Structure 1
Amino acid sequence: MEFRREPQWLRTSEPRLAGRWTSERLRLFAVLRAYWLLPILLLAAAVRFYDLTAAAIWGDEGSSLLLSQYDLNEIWVHAAHDVHPPLYFMLLHGWIAAFGDGILAIRSFSAWPGIACVGLGVWLVAQIASRRAAILAGFLLALLPTAVRYSQEVRMYALLGVWLLGATLALVYWVRQPRRQRYLVYYALLMGAAFYTHYFTALCVLAHWLYLALLRLQATPASLRIQRPGWWLANVAIVALFAPWLPGLVDLLQHLDQLKANGDVGWEPAVELASLPSMVWQLLTQDDGDGLAPLPFASLPLLMLGVVGLVAWRDRSPWRLHWLLAIYSTLPLLLVFVVSFVSPVFIERYLTAYALGLPLLVAIAVDRLLDQGRSGARGLALAVLLLFGGAEALGLKNNANVDANDQISALVDYVNQHYAAGDRIVTSDLLWYLSYVYYNRTDAQPLLYTPPAPNGASTRPNAYGFGTLVDQQAATLYVDYLSALPPGTGRVWLISTADQPDEFAPLPGAWRESAEFTAGNVRARLMLVCGAARAGTALPAACAQAAKPAG
């Protein structure tokens, strides 16, 4: 009989003590085996809540907050004029009612779904691969930089990941157990919620249908799933759930020209062939990799291509569920890339919910290589894990590279501190306005500068896109001419982009700059409104002491 040698730390001259150590060790292993998901979720929470409040609220987040201030009926109406459906904003409305609108509270509404995505990803891999693959997938997904980033923004992308991963998981259960119709009910409800969260849910529908269509070509027990009435009824149910929103969507599509006029669509950069590998770099490292030499630039995308190919090719299970994950993660990326040659929409955040599948595929590939037992395969598994993990580490570093004192929040704090009752505050752009109003602590309503175009046409936002959030205030919000501002105290704060030509130029001749503060890419200037019309007041003396003339 062969006996296993005890490790050094377990040896002792006291047999009773040795027995106690052995027992405690077994209990520890039992606890780890039972609660192995807990450290993964704790890691996911740690990286998502770290520096959660460091970055300032930016324009898109400001639009979420402004829309969520309306009641539910008004959210429905305004979202029908926006580029996103209403569910996220309705849920955010309820969240703010419960927890307040502090930056930690509102950003937590994305952090918690981000953590839930990690749990769902682990659950999904546990169903289609091994426990070892699920554990690896959990750690890799917890650290995925694009997932971390959009778990820290007041936008709908983390929530969309919950719906889509949940629906994909429900599909897995149904494919295995088609008689359990409740899984199709879950599927329809989750996909319905996803459609009310983001229109790119349609890409997930295509991925699921393509998977079932490819399965139909295989001689497997699951090949006829696409023909089952339950599947078709589930999709009809999804359409029925979304039907109340269709009139708003049709109206929005009919007013694309107005969305383009506001810059809500059509601003996306054009794509080229290098945009696809660049997107892979962006998702995994938060850097587009454009500064790299051709070979290093191609390395990470080629690694992911090899991973997807390995996972799909080695899948010999009756349900080919690895195919489902591979299609879910790659088809949306490829489709949006191709479509963007016609109408550019190739934006990282739109694809983040689908990028959640990339670390899951890496985990399955590593697990498969380790199963081969050969030293070469184990070495390759380690190399894949190190390369992917290294890319994630770089991306997390980029995510955390935030200077809280170099953003618009610091600038608005400066204005709040130096504000005098009666001062006017004018922002040069709607995105600056949306950020500014969140941090504004004065009694002044920030205004929006809308000078007529050179041909005399109005530049005021219309009732679509972000414009729907402010159009009702047009009479009191828009400033077409700086000279038309009411006198007030004779002091005007101008908020504009710092590294561009003056967006307020030309300034009225009688205005003089008294102070300036810059933070990040935005600057605030305190202007004194001088002139003979103010003779007899304290303003002329202050104007004479102004540091320099404006313009």
Structure 2
Amino acid sequence: MIGKWRGPQGSSTRLGAIGQVAFWRSGWAVLGWTLLGALVRFWNLGGKPPSSIEVASIGFGLGNGFDHLPLDRLVSLAELLEPLRVQPTVGLDETIARLAAQSTHPPLFFGLMHGWLRALTPAGGLVDLATARSLSALLGCLAIPAGFWLAQWLAGHLVPPQDGAATPQPTDRPVAALWMAHGVAALLALSPYGVAMAQEARHYTLAILWAIGTWAATFGAVHRLQQGRSPGWGLGIAWVLGNSLSLATHYFCLLGIAAQGLAIGWLAWSQGRSQGWSILRGRPWRVMGVIALAQIALAAAWLPAMAGASESELTAWIREDLNPAEWFLPPLRLLAWLATMVVLLPVEQQPLPVILGSAIALLAVLGLLLRIIGPVWRSGLARPAPLWWAISIGVVGPLVLMLLSIYSDRGDLSVAPRYQFVHFPLVVLGVGLALGQRSADRAPLSIGRWQGSGRSAMVAILVVSLLGSLAVANNWGFLKSRQVDRLWDQIEGRSTHTPLLVSHIETYAEIRGTVAIAYEWQRRQAPPTRQRPAQSPNSPQFAPQFLMLQEASDRADGQAPLAQVIQQQARPFDLWTVDLSPALDLEAYGCKRAKDRRRPTGYRLRHYQCTEAAS
């Protein structure tokens, strides 16, 4: 039966088990998973094009900001890239001040990014994208041993009793616990979602590290309270400090803190119901109450900043109302993001046969996964094991809170995978522990006509995880909604003269998006590498020009900024509008709409060829 762990039989098998413990307990095994995770995270690190949010991380990390870039006039490439250059006179205090004025994020990660970029980039130099991403990739690697050690501690308390015995045999429990811990480490190393977050110059991997640490404190408190012991002031201080650092990294960590509170609340309700409510007046729960009050005070201190972020125009895009026909989409999206935390194959913007084949393979692997871990979880939740329940609440709690936010019109947190970092460590913990427990059980596994072992099934799942991670590293998975590399493929392939790009500006987000476009063009001019192949010989060999047009400046009269720029521009040139349907009659200014074949880029592009003088 799946979910019941059967220990090895016979003395020779026990000697083999002891050998397994000796090897897998060594630091070399954990180092191996960490190196494998580093390999997939640093693979092709600078090859994928930049996104506007990564540009924001670099610019704000350097303390430069984007408010000084000129609008409604021509901007050179050098001017647009100025926020991405190291300015030796800009210190950490200016970095935090600019971040508070122009962004909606807390300062901790950007302070780390400030020191990282200044240490690895010469003064006045343009930041290399791989350098900017390497901090996040490194933090993602650190999560692997951290997750292993947490899983090893958990597994020691979660190994179920052997059939016919009150407890597992002495050599059985270490083997089972190590299989469970290494199952978690393997998934952390190979998770496609984890690789995607680690390959962005963003703060998600730092938040994931804090989540692992604070959930470790949560599990420690649950275990001690279950035994009738106090959580301890040392654990409480570390717990509160960890959550304060997590909120200083990303405000959405509040969802994880709320889930931790739900886990403790569930334990209080469970003990009060089974042992009498007077138990909650004992010293252990009084100490827990003080720790909980400290956590609430911590969250309350950040609420003004969170409220300002939620009302900012920069986050308006996640507050768009759902149409009635779209109400079923958020749960489906959340389930899809959950699946990518374990397995992924190329299904985005691929030929139809590839999409169908990948989808069928993914469904088969997910079916196998659920068939393996489902009984393990049911068995764990059926026993008096509060740690299993705490892990479950850590997975389900943030999802429920996200759905409440979505359907109360506070914001659709399902639209972007990056917001799922809150429960990512708990998903990997739960799946990895269950896979490891089933792998430690030598009983045969039967699924339909297929028969095998839990270990062979685990290997199959890890192979698909590795393929998914490589797909992500090669930009075949977790594609950005706006693909600046494809934008330049189209512009370079269709332009015959100097391109002038006109973008529509409403907030700082659009300014950063224009900087990302310029950044990608600059990167494409670097000597070709394996990650960046050579340009097409037909590409125009001159720098583009840019015009960032405010909404109020998009007018149809001859004094409008766009009209003035077109009249002053040397002809011929190619005019490209980016997410803009200009009010100006461009044909009256000698610019005719080109009949280009549209390719998916995520941008609304219009191409005009300006060859004649204005009429």
Calculate the TM-score normalised by the size of structure 1.
Answer: 0.71
CA distance in structure 1 between the aligned counterparts of 2:221 and 2:424, rounded to whole angstroms: 23
Give the AA of the match of 1:250.
Answer: A
Give the AA of the match of 2:413.
Answer: V
CA distance in structure 2 between the aligned counterparts of 1:385 and 1:164, rounded to whole angstroms: 25
Question: Is residue 280 of structure 1 aligned with residue 338 of structure 2?
Answer: yes
Question: Is residue 47 of structure 1 aligned with residue 68 of structure 2?
Answer: no
CA distance in structure 1 between the aligned counterparts of 2:360 and 2:404, rounded to whole angstroms: 22
Identify the residue that residue 314 of structure 1 maps to in structure 2: 380
CA RMSD of aligned residues (A): 4.9
Identify the residue that residue 139 of structure 2 maps to in structure 1: 113
Shift of residue 176, structure 1, vs aligned partner:
4.5
- Which of residues 41, 50, 67 is equivalent to 2:60? 67
Identify the residue that residue 150 of structure 1 maps to in structure 2: 197
CA distance in structure 2 between the aligned counterparts of 1:211 and 1:56, rounded to whole angstroms: 40
Give the AA of the match of 1:485.
Answer: V
Identify the residue that residue 113 of structure 2 maps to in structure 1: 92
Q: Write the mapping of 1:493-504 to structure 2, written as runs, cut at 5 A.
A: 494-496=575-577
After superposition, the Cα gap between the structure-2 partners of 1:501 and 1:213, relative to the gap in structure 1 and judged at 3 Å, is closer
CA distance in structure 2 between the aligned counterparts of 1:528 and 1:375, rounded to whole angstroms: 72
Which is further off, 203-212 or 120-129? 203-212
Contact 2:198 2:205 in 1 (8 A): yes
- Which of residues 374, 398, 413 is equivalent to 1:345? 413
Q: Write the mapping of 1:287-436 to structure 2, written as runs, cut at 5 A.
A: 300=366, 303-304=369-370, 307=373, 310-311=376-377, 313-314=379-380, 320-343=386-409, 344-346=412-414, 347-370=416-439, 372-376=441-445, 379=452, 381-382=454-455, 384-386=457-459, 388-389=461-462, 391-402=464-475, 408=484, 425-428=501-504, 430=510, 432-436=513-517
Q: Deviations over 1:397-436 (max 9, x none)?
A: 43134389x96358769999xx9xx986533562641412
CA distance in structure 2 between the aligned counterparts of 1:310 and 1:484, rounded to whole angstroms: 69
Shift of residue 86, structure 1, vs aligned partner:
2.8
Identify the residue that residue 203 of structure 1 maps to in structure 2: 255
Contact 2:501 2:547 in 1 (8 A): yes
Shift of residue 98, structure 1, vs aligned partner:
1.7
Per the alignment, in what secondary structure is the counterpart of residue 53 of structure 1?
coil
Give the AA of the match of 1:84.
Answer: H
After superposition, the Cα gap between the structure-2 partners of 1:139 and 1:396, relative to the gap in structure 1 and judged at 3 Å, is same
Shift of residue 141, structure 1, vs aligned partner:
1.6
Q: Which runs of 5+ in 2 are unaligned?
A: 1-9, 13-17, 64-91, 122-126, 156-176, 225-229, 349-354, 523-541
Instruction: State the structure with bigger RCO (CA 8 A, min sep 6), 1 or 2.
Output: 2
Identify the residue that residue 528 of structure 2 maps to in structure 1: none
Per the alignment, in what secondary structure is the counterpart of residue 154 of structure 1?
coil
Contact 1:268 1:345 in 2 (8 A): no
Question: Is residue 212 of structure 1 aligned with residue 264 of structure 2?
Answer: yes
- Which of residues 129, 151, 164 is equivalent to 2:211? 164
After superposition, the Cα gap between the structure-2 partners of 1:452 and 1:443, relative to the gap in structure 1 and judged at 3 Å, is same
Identify the residue that residue 57 of structure 1 maps to in structure 2: 50
Question: How many residues end up aligned between the 2 structures?
Answer: 483
Contact 2:344 2:464 in 1 (8 A): no
Q: Which runs of 5+ in 1 are unaligned?
A: 5-25, 458-478, 534-551
Shift of residue 214, structure 1, vs aligned partner:
2.4
Identify the residue that residue 245 of structure 2 maps to in structure 1: 193
Shift of residue 381, structure 1, vs aligned partner:
2.6
Contact 1:75 1:90 in 2 (8 A): yes
CA distance in structure 1 between the aligned counterparts of 2:429 and 2:345, rounded to whole angstroms: 21
Shift of residue 66, structure 1, vs aligned partner:
2.6
Shift of residue 348, structure 1, vs aligned partner:
1.9
CA distance in structure 1 between the aligned counterparts of 2:20 and 2:431, rounded to whole angstroms: 29
Shift of residue 312, structure 1, vs aligned partner:
5.9
